[in-house]
Amino acid sequence: MAIEPFDVVDLIRTKRDHGILSTAQIDWLVDAYTRGYVASEQMSAMTMAIFLNGMERSEIRDLTMAMIASGKTMNFSSLSKPTTDKHSTGGVGDKITLPLAPLVASFGVAVPQLSGRGLGHTGGTLDKLESIPGWRANLSNEEFFSQLENVGAVISAAGSGLAPADGKLYALRDITGTVEAIPLIASSIMSKKIAEGTAALVLDVKFGSGAFLKDITQSRELARTMVALGEDAGVATSALLTNMNVPLGFAIGNANEVRESVEVLAGGGPADVVALTIALAREMLALAGQPDADVEAALADGRAMDTWRAMISAQGGDPDAALPVAKETLVVTADRDGVLVEQQALPFGIAAWRLGAGRARAQDPVQHAAGIDLHAKPGDTVTAGQPLFTLSADEPERFERALEALDGSYRIGDFGDPVLDGGPLIAERIGA
């Protein structure tokens, strides 16, 4: 039996005592954990030490590269067009990928969007798209590359071969209270994105009630860390810090978010969804060498919609098919005249999850028609009896727990009361 070059207990003690791990130590740790030599209990102790004491930039870079090296990588150099991608840290009503990918691709740029499924209160892009009849998330490499070349945009499931160490480590963090460790979040996201092989990457890093990290200071630190990792790996990277105190758009769920995305592609849609889609598209296209692209024109003249239809059709979906509609609905109305001054994102995400739009465990199914449709946003004037939002579910018994989640999450105030929306939609841009 081969003799291991390091003792994992020594490495744990090093991080426990605020020490710095060498590249060789981190390479060995990730490899030994991936092949099962380092036990889960030992890696749990290591992740907690990292959570408490942090990591230096060199350590985060080494951790990211070691996780990339644990599996396969993709290479898009054979394509006739440049590649650019986007990653969001997730939020409530965040359907931006759906209109964004075809919008950017309509400018002759390839968008290889490897997406995931929802867990908890944050929705998954693949869950949303699977509400379209016939659409499939799993593509062969040949299908993936052919669609990128011919259509320009692909939104699909990532194969298990990309950064498998990250998948194993994330599952451990999820049950040990270390998910929020910024070095581990950054290396997790960037290992997959760098392994994916895109030449440019824009990060949508959210803060606020419905975000992964609530505090903008933490979100800024995460954004800066990830931008540095991208640049270190030769990927042109930038980030936008965006507000997730209030749900994005009016739709929270799966099928209803697809409907709202199509509205954006048709030149309409909610102002906040349109604004963030345009801002991210400009960032992606600038990094891909088109800083002067007129993205508003591509929404207005139908080019982005044409690319959407081609993208959905290429993956077996019918862009003209009727989307699922829930069997039961419940309308919640305003109890007084006034102004809607508060609408917290997190409780609305939890309520949609309880209605069936999300999952508590990775293996749980989602109900594509379940969710919430908002009829007013913070700052809107409302009158007594006016609908504020509609809950949709296939089982009416789900309504009670959804309403429990929403208790105290929205408030109607008097004219002149401050509106608690957390400020501007886009708070800051972070570049290399």
Task: Give catalytic residues, as residue numbers.
Answer: 87, 166, 173, 188, 192
For residues 279 and 248, what is the distance between their CA atoms, to the nearest angstrom? 14
Spatial CB neighbours of 191, under 8 Å, sequence gap ≥ 6: 64, 65, 67, 68, 163, 165, 166
For residues 315 and 144, what is the distance between their CA atoms, to the nearest angstrom? 9
Strand segments (E) across 162-321: 200-207, 236-243, 251-253
8-state DSSP, 98: H
Nearest to residue 372, comparing CAs of 389, 350, 395?
389
Residue showing tokens 């309504």:
399
Quick check: helix, strand or coil at residue 370? coil
CB 356 within 8 A of CB 372: no
For residues 178 and 185, what is the distance between their CA atoms, to the nearest angstrom? 9
For residues 265 and 274, what is the distance between their CA atoms, to the nearest angstrom? 9
Distances (CA, A) of 4 to 1, 21, 22, 28, 162: 9, 16, 16, 9, 25
